[in-house]
Amino acid sequence: MYLKRTGLLLTAMVMGGWLGGAGEARATMDLQKKAKAAGFEATSCLYCHGEKIPKKGAMTHNDRGKFLTAEKDKKKAKEVDVAWLKDYVEKK
């Protein structure tokens, strides 16, 4: 049951990314919802950003957000995939 649900979740995330098409690398409420659905504690924008409500062109990223941005660049992806968060190691 768990593997089936995880497979469906991953399929939905891939399809959502594909249907979303190319766009700017910026956070959306949709990314936060996807992160929560994947089991991450993304309770607010502060999960990846330095601001409570990031503004286009004037946002900063915390270490987690910098990791996701670096992964996006490294993988030459069009947008951030919240599944990459499983590889993030929080600094102590």
Q: List average pLDDT for each run of 10 residues in the chain, which is 92 residues long.
A: 58 54 56 92 93 88 96 95 94 82
Residue 77 has a pLDDT of: 96
Residues 32 and 12: beta-carbon distance below 8 Å: no
Question: What pTM was computed for the model?
Answer: 0.67
DSSP states of the chain: -HHHHHHHHHHHHHHHHHHH-S--S---HHHHHHHHHTT----SGGGTBSSSS--TTS--B-HHHHHHHHHHHHTT-SS--GGGGGG-----
- What pLDDT does residue 26 have? 52
